[in-house]
A and B are shown apart, each in its own frame.
Chain A
Amino acid sequence: MLIHEIVHAYIFTNPEVLNGLTQHAYMLQNYIDGIIGSLQTFFPSLTSQQAASLALGGLGDDITGTQAFADVLTKYGFTTNMNSRDYFAFYSKLYEYGTSGTSCK
């Protein structure tokens, strides 16, 4: 999530990069691979799918229903059925609820 906010900070100081896109749409288009790579560098035990799930988290309700988001889900091996266990948010929820990962102290 910190990486996500760093990208926001970058966009806020360079708004011209958006070229008409919203910040999250721009992030979806350009930064998901980068965030996945960063996460796996910091946490080598993360699988690509787990890292992708975390990278896609926080993009919000306005974008999760779009075709661009559906395409990205397919690219990373997730289903587009938002009520399936193979939906991206299921993996990120495991971290959110402390079922996976190491809880903050």
Chain B
Amino acid sequence: MVTIKHGYTFLLTVILISNVLFTQNVFAQQVSSKYKHELKKFMKFIRNTEFKQYDTLKIYPYLSNKNLFMISLFGTGVYGLSNEEKTYLIKEIQSDTAKYYFNRHWMKNVQFVPQNQKDGWRLSKPIFLRNYLLCAFSFATPYDPDFASQWTYLYKKENGKWSRLLLMGKILGY
């Protein structure tokens, strides 16, 4: 009798854990696939606009928010964003510093620069807001001992097309 009771308890526990894991996994995949889908479209837009002058774009093989988005969270750069959206941006910029490795399908004509070299553009992860209708994105020039600069813009999507909305912040070396 004790064995049967333990057996039921074990079975219920397994079912419960499986259920939780399955539900979370499905949810994660939904979020992830939507993000990946929007990311691919956005990166294609960035390649064709911000970097259109480069036949071959030299970049690091990952997206990372580390040391990007400088001075972008105050002043005119956050015009129109709610306090909740600003809080979300701060969280994403300051907490999400993990590298997201680049997929070659995101952009055409890119050349990956080894991480120990300093001649690649640094790109942030796109941070989407308002159900993928706004996006904050930051990028910095290849390392130059004297003139390295970085820009952060807010982009908007209208009728399925991205365009620049406003400058959020920039640091220029001159």
The total of chain B residues at the interface (CB under 8 A) is 26
| Also in contact, A23 and B75, with CB within 8 A (given A58-B172, A58-B173) | no
Chain A, interface size: which category? 20 to 34
A64, B75: Cβ atoms under 8 Å? no
Chain A residues with CB below 8 A from B144, complex form: 60, 62
A22, B141: Cβ atoms under 8 Å? no
Majority SS at the chain B contact face = loop
B174, A1: Cβ atoms under 8 Å? yes
B150, A22: Cβ atoms under 8 Å? no
| Also in contact, A64 and B146, with CB within 8 A (given A90-B71, A90-B74, A93-B75) | no
B174, A4: Cβ atoms under 8 Å? yes
- The distance in angstroms between the C-alpha atoms of A59 and B93, with both chains bound, is 23
B149, CB-defined interface residue at 8 Å: yes
Interface residues of B in 131-174 (CB under 8 A from A): 140-141, 143-150, 169, 171-174
Chain B residues with CB below 8 A from A83, complex form: 69-74, 90, 93
A60, B71: Cβ atoms under 8 Å? no
- The distance in angstroms between the C-alpha atoms of A61 and B145, with both chains bound, is 10
Task: List, sorted by A's number, 24 A–B pairs whose CB atoms are closer than 8 Å.
Answer: A23-B145, A24-B173, A58-B174, A60-B147, A60-B174, A61-B70, A61-B140, A61-B141, A61-B148, A61-B149, A61-B173, A62-B146, A62-B148, A62-B173, A83-B71, A83-B72, A83-B73, A83-B74, A83-B93, A89-B70, A89-B71, A90-B71, A90-B75, A93-B71
Chain B residues within CB distance 8 Å of chain A = 67, 69-76, 90, 93, 140-141, 143-150, 169, 171-174
Chain A residues within CB distance 8 Å of chain B = 1, 4-5, 22-24, 57-65, 82-85, 87, 89-90, 93, 97
